[in-house]
C-alpha cells in the first residue's frame, strides 16, 4: 500500500499539476486570463446567472393557439375545395365549415353529394415530410364521414406534433434575433421539452424590456379595403361577403377588408424605427423584398385612389380590465382576445414601386422600436408565455460571490486548524491534501465549463467539511492499530487498507444523492449537485491517494528504523 511505482508517482503528480494549471486562470482578472499564452488553459469558471447577474426566463408556446391556426388553415382549404366542386355544373350545397372540438365539420345538404365531396376533400390529404410516427398515420389530415351527411376533417396527431416541432424550431431562431439583435450579449437560448424555450441573458439590468417583446407574435399584412364596406356599415346586415372580413381599427369603426393579403410581414426585408420627415412623429419605415415589392407595386398601380389597410396581428392576448387585472372566464381561465387591428388605412396616392414605405399610427417612440424589432425578428407561429422568471441584479451576484468566498475561507481555516490540532503532522498532510482538493475542484469546474452557482459555492464549502472524512477514517484506524500494538508502518498500511472499503461505500452513497439531484434539479440546484459530485471524486483522490503518497514519502525520509508515529 505504501509503495509507489515511478509511473504511479508520475500520474499522481501529473493529475495535481494539471488540476492546478486548469484552476490557475481564476486568480487573474478576466482580461489577464485571456492574455495568457495560448498553450496554457485560460478558461475561467463559468459563473451562473445568480452570481454574475442576468435573467433566466422559461417561455411556453401557446399550443392551443397553434392548433387553432392549424385548424383555420385546414378550414380554408376545405372551403376552397368545396367551392371548386361542381356537380352537374352547380355548386354543391353545404353548411359553413365549423371548427368544433379540434375538428372541422361540414354538412352536405344532399346525401348523394357526400361521396363526391369526400373525394374532392381527399385531395387535401398530403403525406407529412417528416413524421416521427412513420408507418401509422403520417398524413396531414384524416377525413371521416359522420352522421347526417356530415364530413369530419381533423389534423392527425402526427401533423399536430410536426407542426409544433416546426414552430418551436423557428421560435428558437426568432428568440435569438429578438434577444440579441446585434449579436453581442451571448445569450443561451434553447428548447426544453416539446413546447418550451429557455432564454438566459447575462447582465440584463431591466428584464422588463426583454419580456415585453419575447413572447409576442406580430404579423403584419397589407390588405385592400373593400368599397362595399361603407354601405354595409350603415345597413342592418354586417355579414362579410365571401372573401372579405371585418377588422377592427385603431382609428374608428371596423373596416371591411379583402381577406387576401397583398403583402405579408414575411416579405419584409428590413424595418426601422424612425421619425416622419415632415410631421416628426414616430414611424416604422420598411423595405419589402423583391416578391413583396413586385406584388405591392402591381396592386397599388391597379388601385390608385383607393385605401389599403396595414393590419397588425398580435395573436391572442389575455383580456385585462381597467386596473390591469387579467379577466377570467367561467372556468377560471384567462379570457383570450384576438388582438388584430388596422393600424392605418392610407389612400394610395400613386403606385408604390420602390418597395419602401412607412407605417404611421399614434405610436410612441418605444412602440415603434418594439414593432421594428418584432418585424425584423420574424413572427412566432403562436404566442409564448413566460412561465418562470429568475432575474438577479449584478449587485446581488457580486455580494453572493463575496459572501461565498468569505464563508469558504473561514470554513477552510477552521477545518484546517481543527485537523492540525487533532492529528498534528499527519493533520498537516491532510490539510495539504484538502487545499489541493479545492484546487482540483476549481480546475475541474474551469475545464468542464460547468456552471458555478451560489448553491454550487455552498457545495464546495460543504466539501471542505466532508472531504477530511476519509482522512479521519484512516487516521482513527491507524490509531486503533497502534493501540493494538502494531508497528508504525504496518499500522499505516492496515489503516489505509481497512478504511478503503468504508471510504468507497460512504462516498458512493453521497454520489448517488448528487446524481439524482443533478438530473432532477433545475438551474442553481444542479449547480450544487455538480460541485458536490466533483468534490466527492476529487476528495477520494486527494485524501486517500495523495495523503498516502505524502506519508510514504515522509516515511522514506526518516533516518531511524523505529519511527514514532506522530498521531
Partner 1 sequence: MTWKGFHLIASETKLTFLTYRKICLALSIAMVVLSIGLFSSVGLNFGIDFRGGTLIEVQTKDGQDANLPTLRNTLSNLGLGDVQIQLFGRPDDVLIRLEQQPGGEKAQQNALAKVQQALGDDFTYRRTEVVGPTVSEELKEQGTIAVLAAIFAVLVYIWLRFEWQFSLGAVAALVHDVILTIGIFSLLQLEFNLSIIAALLTIVGYSLNDTVVVYDRVRENLRKYKKMDLQDLLDLSINDTLSRTILTSLTTLLALLSLYLFGGEIIRGFTFAMIWGVIIGTYSSIFVAAPILLMLGVKRDWSGLGTAGKAKEPV
* Of 406, 435, 487, 553, the one binding partner 1 by CB under 8 A: 406
CB 509 within 8 A of CB 484: no
Residue 407 · residue 316 · CB < 8 Å: no
Angle at 180 between CA 176 and CA 181, to 5 degrees: 100
Closer CB to partner 1, 305 or 324, in the complex: 324
Answer for the pair 390, 523: CB distance below 8 angstroms, yes or no.
Answer: yes
- Residue 197 CB, shortest distance to partner 1, in Å, is 14
Tell me the three state secondary structure of residue 507: helix
**C-beta closer to partner 1: residue 10 or 553:** 553
Measured CA to CA, the distance from residue 76 to residue 69 in angstroms comes to 10
Residue closer to partner 1 by CB (options 77, 404) is: 404
Q: 525: buried, middle or exposed (CB in 10 Å: 19+, 13-18, 0-12)? A: middle
Q: Does 333 bind partner 1 (CB under 8 A)?
A: yes
Q: Which stretch binds partner 1 (CB under 8 A): 10-18, 180-188, 222-230, 460-468?
A: 460-468
Exposure of 84 in the CB half-sphere (CA atoms within 13 A): 11
Asked if 353 touches partner 1 (CB under 8 A), the answer is no
Per-residue binding string, partner 1, 168-207, x by CB under 8 A, is: ---------------------------------------x
When binding is defined by CB under 8 A, the residue of 132, 304, 387, 435 that contacts partner 1 is: 387
Distance (Å, whole) CA 134 – CA 138: 6
Helix 207-214 to helix 157-179 angle, to the nearest 10 degrees?
Answer: 140
Mention every residue, 6+ apart, whose C-beta is less than 8 A from residue 499: 470, 473, 474, 477
Considering only residues 411 to 450 of the shown chain, the ones binding partner 1 according to CB under 8 A are 411-412, 414-415, 418-419, 421-428
- CB neighbourhood size of 403 (10 A): 12
Taking the complex as a whole, how short is the minimal distance between the CB of residue 179 and partner 1, in angstroms? 17
Binding test (CB under 8 A) with partner 1, winner from 16, 263, 492, 567:
567
Q: b/e for 455-475, b at 16 or more Cβ within 10 A?
A: bbbbbbbbbbebbbbbbbbbb
Contacting residue, 99, 386, 447, 537, with partner 1 by CB under 8 A = 386
Asked whether the beta carbons of 477 and 495 are under 8 A apart, the reply is yes
What does the alpha-carbon distance between residue 66 and residue 514 come to, in Å, rounded to a whole number?
39
Distance CA 527, CA 198 (A): 17
Contacts of partner 1 in 36-65 (CB under 8 A): 58, 60
Of the two residues 357 and 456, which places its CB atom closer to partner 1 in the complex?
A: 456
Question: CA 233, CA 255: separation in Å to the nearest integer?
Answer: 8
Nearest alpha-carbon partner for 218 in 386, 378, 385, 341 = 378
Count of residues that interact with partner 1, criterion CB under 8 A: 95
Residue with smaller CB distance to partner 1, 132 or 425 = 425
Binding positions for partner 1, 202-231, rule CB under 8 A? 207-208, 211
Site for partner 1 in 265-284 (CB under 8 A): none
489 binds partner 1 (CB under 8 A): no
Instruction: State the minimum distance, in angstroms, from the CB of residue 491 to partner 1.
Output: 14
- The pattern of x and - marking residues 292 through 321 that bind partner 1 according to CB under 8 A reads --------------------------x-x-
Interface residue with partner 1, options 275, 479, 550, 555 (CB under 8 A): 479
Range 553-561 contact pairs with CB under 8 angstroms and sequence separation of 24 or more: 554/425, 554/429, 555/2, 555/489, 555/492
* Residue closer to partner 1 (CB basis): 147 or 505: 505
- Which of 505, 556, 561, 562 is the binder for partner 1 (CB under 8 A)? 505
Q: Looking at beta carbons only, is 199 or 415 nearer to partner 1?
A: 415
Can residue 534 be called a binding residue for partner 1 (CB under 8 A)? no
| Angle made by CA atoms 279, 284, 286, in degrees to the nearest 5 | 120
- The rounded distance, in Å, linking the Cα atoms of 539 and 441 is 9
The reply to whether 509 sits near partner 1 by the rule CB under 8 A is yes
Angle subtended at Cα 212 by Cα 207 and Cα 213, rounded to the nearest 5 degrees: 110
Q: How far is the CB of 525 from partner 1 (least distance, A)?
A: 5
Please report how close the Cβ of residue 207 comes to partner 1 at its closest, in angstroms: 7
CB 445 within 8 A of CB 452: yes
Among 259, 407, 537, 555, binds partner 1 (CB under 8 A): 407
Q: Site for partner 1 (CB under 8 A): which residue of 221, 295, 369, 391?
A: 391
Q: What are the backbone dihedrals phi and psi of residue 85, each rounded to the nearest 5 degrees, phi first?
A: -75, 120
Give 60 or 165: the residue with its C-beta nearer to partner 1.
Answer: 60
Q: Rule CB under 8 A: which of 91-150 touch partner 1?
A: none
Closer CB to partner 1, 483 or 556, in the complex:
483
Among 175, 197, 210, 464, binds partner 1 (CB under 8 A): 464
Residue 555 near partner 1 by CB under 8 A:
no
Q: Choose, by CB under 8 A, the member of 96, 483, 556, 561 that binds partner 1.
A: 483
Residues 199 and 386: beta-carbon distance below 8 Å: no
Of 183-191, 331-339, 356-364, 485-493, the segment contacting partner 1 by CB under 8 A is: 331-339
> Nearest approach, Cβ of 249 to partner 1 (angstroms)?
25
Q: What CA dihedral angle connects 154, 157, 159 and 162, to 10 degrees?
A: 150
In the complex, the smallest distance separating the C-beta of residue 412 from partner 1, rounded to whole angstroms, is 8
* Smaller CB separation from partner 1, 131 or 463: 463
Cα R_g (the chain), whole angstroms: 35
Give the shortest CB-540-to-partner 1 separation in angstroms.
13
* Phi, psi dihedral angles at 127 (to 5 degrees): -70, 145
- Which residue in the set 173, 250, 302, 388 belongs to the binding site for partner 1 (CB under 8 A)? 388
Q: Bridge partners of 338?
A: 316
Q: Is residue 404 a contact residue for partner 1 (CB under 8 A)?
A: yes
Amino acid at each position: 500500500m505504501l509503495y509507489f511505482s515511478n509511473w504511479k508517482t508520475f500520474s499522481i503528480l501529473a493529475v495535481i499539476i494539471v488540476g492546478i494549471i486548469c484552476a490557475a486562470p481564476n486568480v487573474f482578472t478576466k482580461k489577464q486570463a485571456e492574455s495568457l499564452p495560448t498553450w496554457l488553459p485560460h478558461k475561467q469558471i463559468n459563473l451562473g446567472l445568480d452570481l454574475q447577474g442576468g435573467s433566466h426566463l422559461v417561455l411556453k408556446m401557446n399550443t392551443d393557439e397553434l392548433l387553432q391556426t392549424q385548424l383555420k388553415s385546414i378550414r380554408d382549404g376545405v372551403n376552397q375545395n368545396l367551392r371548386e366542386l361542381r356537380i352537374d355544373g352547380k355548386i354543391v350545397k353545404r353548411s359553413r365549415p365549423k371548427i368544433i372540438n379540434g375538428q372541422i365539420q361540414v354538412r352536405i345538404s344532399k346525401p348523394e353529394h357526400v361521396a363526391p365531396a369526400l373525394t374532392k376533400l381527399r385531395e387535401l390529404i398530403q403525406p407529412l415530410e417528416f413524421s416521427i410516427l412513420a408507418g401509422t398515420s403520417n398524413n396531414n389530415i384524416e377525413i371521416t364521414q359522420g352522421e347526417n351527411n356530415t364530413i369530419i376533417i381533423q389534423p392527425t396527431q402526427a401533423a399536430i406534433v410536426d407542426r409544433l416541432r416546426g414552430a418551436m424550431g423557428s421560435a428558437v431562431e426568432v428568440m435569438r434575433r429578438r434577444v440579441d439583435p446585434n449579436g453581442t450579449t451571448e445569450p443561451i437560448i434553447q428548447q426544453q421539452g416539446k413546447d418550451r424555450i429557455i432564454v438566459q441573458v447575462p447582465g440584463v439590468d431591466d428584464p422588463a424590456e426583454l419580456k415585453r417583446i419575447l413572447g409576442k407574435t406580430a404579423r403584419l399584412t397589407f390588405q385592400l379595403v373593400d368599397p362595399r364596406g361603407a354601405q354595409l356599415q350603415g345597413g342592418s346586415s354586417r355579414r362579410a361577403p365571401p372573401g372579405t372580413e371585418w377588422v377592427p381599427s385603431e382609428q374608428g369603426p371596423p373596416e371591411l377588408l379583402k381577406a387576401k393579403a397583398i403583402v405579408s410581414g414575411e416579405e419584409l426585408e428590413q424595418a426601422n424605427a424612425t421619425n416622419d420627415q415632415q410631421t416628426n412623429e414616430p414611424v416604422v419605415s420598411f423595405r419589402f423584398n423583391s416578391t413583396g415589392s413586385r406584388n405591392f407595386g402591381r396592386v397599388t398601380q391597379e388601385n390608385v385612389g383607393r385605401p389599403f389597410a396595414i393590419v397588425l396581428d398580435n395573436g391572442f392576448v389575455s383580456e385585462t380590465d381597467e386596473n390591469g387585472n387579467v379577466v377570467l372566464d367561467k372556468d377560471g381561465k384567462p379570457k383570450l382576445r384576438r388582438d388584430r387591428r388596422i393600424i392605418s388605412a392610407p389612400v394610395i396616392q400613386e403606385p408604390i414601386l420602390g418597395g419602401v414605405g412607412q407605417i404611421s399610427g399614434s405610436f410612441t417612440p418605444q412602440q415603434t422600436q418594439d414593432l421594428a424589432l418584432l418585424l425584423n425578428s420574424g413572427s412566432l407561429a403562436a404566442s409564448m408565455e413566460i412561465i418562470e422568471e429568475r432575474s438577479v441584479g449584478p449587485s446581488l451576484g457580486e455580494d453572493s460571490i463575496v459572501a461565498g468566498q468569505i464563508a469558504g475561507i473561514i470554513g477552510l481555516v477552521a477545518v484546517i486548524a481543527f485537523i492540525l490540532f487533532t492529528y498534528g503532522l499527519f493533520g498537516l498532510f491532510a490539510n495539504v491534501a484538502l487545499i489541493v482538493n479545492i484546487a482540483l475542484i476549481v480546475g475541474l469546474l474551469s475545464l468542464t465549463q460547468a456552471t458555478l452557482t451560489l448553491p454550487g459555492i455552498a457545495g464546495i464549502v460543504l466539501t471542505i467539511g466532508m472531504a477530511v472524512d476519509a482522512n479521519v477514517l484512516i487516521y482513527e484506524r491507524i490509531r486503533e492499530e497502534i493501540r493494538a500494538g502494531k508497528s508504525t508502518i504496518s499500522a499505516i498500511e492496515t489503516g489505509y487498507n481497512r478504511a478503503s472499503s468504508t471510504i468507497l461505500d460512504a462516498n458512493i452513497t453521497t454520489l448517488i444523492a448528487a446524481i439524482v439531484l443533478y438530473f432532477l434539479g433545475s438551474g442553481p440546484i444542479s449547480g450544487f449537485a455538480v460541485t458536490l459530485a466533483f468534490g466527492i471524486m476529487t476528495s477520494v483522490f486527494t485524501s486517500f491517494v495523495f495523503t498516502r503518497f505524502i506519508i510514504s514519502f515522509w516515511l522514506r525520509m526518516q533516518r531511524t528504523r523505529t519511527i514514532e508515529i506522530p498521531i
